[in-house]
Amino acid sequence: MPEPLKPKRLLSIDALRGFDMLMICGADAFFISLKGKTSWAWLDGLANQFEHPEWIGFTFYDFIFPLFLFISGVSIPFSLGKAQELGISKRLIYQKSLIRMLMLIGFGLLVKNAPFPFFDWENIRLGSVLGRIGIAGFITTVLFLNFDTKKRLGIVGAILLGYYAAIFLIPVPGFGAGDISFEGNLVGWFDRTFLPGRLLQGTYDELGILTTLPAICLTVLGAFGGGILKNPSLSQTKKLKQLVITGLICLVLALIWNLHFPIFKRLWTSSYILLTAGMSFLLMGIFYWVIDVLNFKKMAFFFVVIGMNSLTIYLIYRFVSFRYTSRLLFEGLYKPLSDSWHPVMESMGALALVWLLLYFLYKKNIFFKV
């Protein structure tokens, strides 16, 4: 089937973004609430996948933030392509991207520090999810506009190898080089020394300075995936094939690297970046195949409603208790059930309220973006 000359908006990207946001805006609480409610070991195992390991280890929940960084990158070739078609200069693109980064950093500071300590600046946490997305997006935009695909991938390789070398070769006072324990790793020492304000775990913050470098690679790799999807010279089959092959290559490299540099989120290890990038390529491929190739667009609607307003729900979810509202509205329906099942029903109601709010905004054509 011939491809159009100008690629249209891919519903799969919005759907995948919605799937990702759903995991942190209701679905996580629902699955966790199921733990211990039945005798099914697999259900308890599923619930455990929505909790972060304390240090070394990997669960599905560790994939959620990297996937969002990846999706942010996927969108870049489309948005920059449209800007270039409209004749917008590089300078203006840089300016808009910089403003977007600063706005996301600002929102991130608000979310991570609410209630904001206006009179206690030493307790402000500078690291944030939104801030990292903004920084990664800005850097990826600059790289995309100034380097070709091979050079961008080369930069990714250099960052991951450099990060790996730094952790294993630069000695930490009192611990030496190559220590990846919570107390002795280079990342923690660097943030304690150079990052002002409050750290997430007192002496360590996974959203600090050094871990930002490998995180940026996920957005750059996402832009590579977006370039595949946007390429009008590739058939749908070839696009899907390239996404899958790239994903498998990343997974193999991650598993090999894991033998010396363990896969885990807290340190944003190079192997962790490649693992989550590989998973992101494959999941993007699945969504693209089902929604845009097989044309099952109605199935995507549930996720698209969330994905079109991902920033909106992320911010609202931090300041509005949907669980409290769910309990007020629906407790009379599930009160006859055993008390142990009340959190499950409450979480399910909260999830429904989140989606209905986003559906209302979708129908009113209200989208909050930066």
pLDDT higher than 60, residue 205: yes
pLDDT grade, residue 96 (50/70/90)?
A: very high
Percent of the chain with pLDDT over 90: 84
Asked if the model's pLDDT at residue 218 lies above 90, the reply is yes
Mean of the pLDDT values across residues 97-118? 93
Q: Judge whether residue 9 has pLDDT over 80.
A: no
In angstroms, how far is the first alpha carbon of the chain from the final one? 36
Residue partners of 169: CB distance under 8 A and separation at least 6: 177, 178
Neighbours of 38 (CB within 10 A): 10
Give the whole-angstrom CA distance, residue 18 versus residue 12.
10
* pLDDT band (50, 70, 90) for residue 370: confident
For tokens 């340190």, what's the residue?
267
In the prediction, which pLDDT does 119 show? Answer: 86
pLDDT, residue 231, reads 95
The Cα 29–Cα 22 span in angstroms is 10
pLDDT at 8: 63
pLDDT at residue 39 above 90? no
Q: Is 102 exposed, middle or buried (0-12, 13-18, 19+ CB in 10 A)?
A: middle
Kindly give, in sequence order, each residue whose CB lies less than 8 Å from that of residue 263, ignoring residues fewer than 6 positions away: 58, 254, 269, 271, 272, 275
Q: Sign of the CA dihedral 234, 238, 240, 242?
A: negative
Chain mean pLDDT for the chain: 93
pLDDT over 60 (residue 7): no
Tell me what pLDDT residue 2 has: 40
Q: What is the pLDDT of residue 352?
A: 94
Is the pLDDT confidence value at 1 over 50? no
Alpha carbons 250 and 53: distance in angstroms, whole number? 23
pLDDT digits (tens, 9 = 90+) for 63-86: 999 999 999 999 999 999 888 888
The Cα–Cα gap between 51 and 278 comes to 21
Q: Is 308 left (phi over 0), alpha (psi -120 to 50) or beta?
A: alpha
The radius of gyration of the chain from alpha carbons, rounded to an integer in Å, stands at 21
In sequence order, what are the residues at sequence separation of 6 or more whose Cβ sits closer than 8 angstroms to the Cβ of residue 147? Answer: 155
pLDDT at 4: 41
Q: Binning pLDDT at 50, 70 and 90, where does residue 3 land?
A: very low
Averaged pLDDT, 181-186: 96
Q: Tell me the percentage of the chain whose pLDDT exceeds 70.
A: 98
Nearest 5°: phi and psi at 172?
A: -100, 130
Alpha carbon distances (Å) from 106 to 45, 98, 109, 133, 320? 37, 12, 5, 12, 19
Q: Are 281 and 250 in contact (CB under 8 A)?
A: yes
Mean pLDDT, residues 271-293 taken together: 97
